[in-house]
Structure 1
Amino acid sequence: MPYEENTAPVLLQQHDGLAHITLNRPTQYNALSEEVLDALQDILDDLARDQALQCVVIQARGKAFCAGHDLKQMRSRPEHAYYLDLFQRCSRVMQSVQSLPVPVIARVQGLATAAGCQLVASCDLAVAAQSARFAVSGINVGLFCSTPAVALSRCVPPKAAMEMLMTGEFIDASRARELGLINHAVPDEQLDQAVHDLADRILAKSPVAVRAGKAMFHRQRSLPLEQAYDYASQIMAKNMMSDDACEGIDAFIQKRPAVFKGR
């Protein structure tokens, strides 16, 4: 169904192992309302169980990627319990993005602010249009972006993260790339092609290796060095026993293309 005919707050399209999740509130700059968070969580939960999934792209309709939380909706319920529940729900969505068993690519156009910037930082990879801008701007309205700080501080150097959080100032796509918030900043008209090319490069790899690699990468970051190496050794030994690894190594030795089957 064309996007114009679908009023769901979040859309999902899947084809050949690739899923596109589309934020669908363009006139509200794709703000993360309660409805958007609930829809995102449902989609992420379903995708986590999809054994055929190989890669996910999170994108958005309209002029902005995501303007963060829906401030008007938030102000309509000035209750501590409501705010705590809201931020915990958003935090669960962000953790679900990271815990998906396959790589997640953010396709960023326009603005990515506050929780929108948090969403970019929570994705494994990110490609942005040169005109995109990023900020954690809650400080400008008297609200420190505490939950976005969790993802941001794990993605960019701490002093750079602190400057963004304390000033609320925007950075452009080139600076975001320098800091490691995004992988690539490309001309606006090349954004779709750049995302497509990156996804294709992942889809061409062994599904077994990709899934093992994503889970291993995030877990080892939280471990002390010796434990990280022990854990990585166990994962790599298990990966070596897979059909895909045997096929890939044999193909390399025999100088032929590998045919991966996801086992």
Structure 2
Amino acid sequence: MPLTGPDIILYEKRENYCVITLNRPERLNAISVETGERMYEIESDFANDPNMRVAIYTGAGDRSFSAGMDLIDFAERAARGEQRRGAARPPIVHWKPTIAAVNGLAYGGGCERALSCDIRIAADHVKFALPEVKRGLIPGSGVYTMPRTIGPGIAMWMCLTGEPIDAQEAWRIGLVTKVVPKEQLMEAAIETAQIIAANGPLGVQAAKQIVKQGMEVPIEYAMAIGRPLMDVVFNSEDAKEGATAFREKRTPTWKGR
């Protein structure tokens, strides 16, 4: 059953994937404290639902994926003496694949939300920026994730200037995987989610975990970290089912174990 709660975020489960939509188009899908708390609840549900294998993140409308932190909300809380680093909690840690369908500008926390996803597909009119320095702030997670995604040179330029880049430049530097016309964005994201969800979930999640953890250490250590996970996958029921289904020329029935 879907979670009940404020509709500032829409949470739609479809077969074996879900669509999570920031739903504040009148505020360019800016992230308030309430939005961050709601996102935490939704991500917890997704992470713990065995039927959900992939999540797609997007924004309502076509102007904005997310403009980042809601500065009006931030200013009001600051005026009351509340001390906060930002509006959004860090994303829930799990090994299920996530896709950002970037439908409009992705600034600040919106850009960071896209960076937290495993695959980023952008509409051809969008822009990305980490503009926090223009408001006397600092990117909350972008200072860590952007250089790991595109390298330190361009990441430093984005963090220090706060200037935006367009979708084609984002593709050129490896920030996004694919750029499509805006009317094809959700179709492309859903197609990708369905391709991933059709694969063995144990293998998919282990592959994501090994890639993520292996990037932080030399390759020899990465292989040592990955070996136990590979052993689990290669000796799983899903591995046997995959080989059997191939031999019998049928679609595998995955158990996730």
TM-score (norm 1): 0.89
What's the CA shift for 1:58?
A: 0.7
Cα deviations by residue, 1:112-143 (Å, 9 ceiling, x for unpaired):
00111001111111111000110001122232
Structure 1's consecutive aligned runs of 4 or more residues displaced over 6 angstroms after TM superposition are none
Cα deviations by residue, 1:126-183 (Å, 9 ceiling, x for unpaired):
1110001100011222323243222222211110101111111111111111222211
Task: Find the counterpart in structure 2 of residue 137 from structure 1.
Answer: 131
Task: Find the counterpart in structure 2 of residue 232 from structure 1.
Answer: 226
Map 1:162-181 to 2 at 5 A: 162-181=156-175
Task: Output the CA distance in 2 between the equivalents of 1:181 and 1:143.
Answer: 23
Local SS of the residue matching 2:227: helix
What's the CA shift for 1:216?
A: 2.3
Task: Find the counterpart in structure 2 of residue 261 from structure 1.
Answer: 254
Q: Would the alpha carbon gap of residues 81 and 48 (structure 1) be closer, same or farther in structure 2, given more than 3 Å must change?
A: farther
Q: Which amino acid aligns with 1:211?
A: Q
Task: Output the CA distance in 2 between the equivalents of 1:156 and 1:226.
Answer: 23
* Of 172-181 and 221-230, the range deviating more from structure 2: 221-230
Across the aligned residues of Structure 1 and Structure 2, the Cα RMSD in angstroms comes to 2.0
Q: Would the alpha carbon gap of residues 53 and 179 (structure 1) be closer, same or farther in structure 2, given more than 3 Å must change?
A: same
Task: Output the CA distance in 2 between the equivalents of 1:56 and 1:47.
Answer: 8
Local SS of the residue matching 1:31: coil
Q: Would the alpha carbon gap of residues 11 and 250 (structure 1) be closer, same or farther in structure 2, given more than 3 Å must change?
A: same
Q: Do the aligned residues in 1 keep the contact of 2:17 with 2:194 (CA within 8 Å)?
A: no
Q: Do the aligned residues in 1 keep the contact of 2:8 with 2:23 (CA within 8 Å)?
A: yes
What's the CA shift for 1:218?
A: 1.4
Identity of aligned residues (%): 32
What's the CA shift for 1:43?
A: 0.7
Unmatched segments (≥5 aa) in structure 1 = 1-5
Task: Find the counterpart in structure 2 of residue 46 from structure 1.
Answer: 45
Task: Output the CA distance in 1 between the equivalents of 2:164 and 2:9.
Answer: 26
Task: Find the counterpart in structure 1 of residue 29 from structure 2.
Answer: 30
Matched, 1:78 2:78: yes
Cα deviations by residue, 1:35-94 (Å, 9 ceiling, x for unpaired):
10000001111211111111000111022000010101111132798343x43x62x433
TM-score (norm 2): 0.91
Q: Do the aligned residues in 2 keep the contact of 1:66 with 1:116 (CA within 8 Å)?
A: yes
Matched, 1:93 2:81: no
Task: Output the CA distance in 2 between the equivalents of 1:259 and 1:205.
Answer: 9
Q: Do the aligned residues in 2 keep the contact of 1:247 with 1:258 (CA within 8 Å)?
A: no
Map 1:104-253 to 2 at 5 A: 104-252=98-246
Task: Find the counterpart in structure 1 of residue 68 from structure 2.
Answer: 68
Alignment length (residue pairs): 251
**Bigger proportion of residues as helix:** 1
Unmatched segments (≥5 aa) in structure 2 = none
Q: Would the alpha carbon gap of residues 204 and 81 (structure 1) be closer, same or farther in structure 2, given more than 3 Å must change?
A: farther
Local SS of the residue matching 2:50: coil
Q: Which amino acid aligns with 1:82?
A: E
Task: Output the CA distance in 1 between the equivalents of 2:138 and 2:203.
Answer: 39
What's the CA shift for 1:227?
A: 1.8
What's the CA shift for 1:226?
A: 1.9
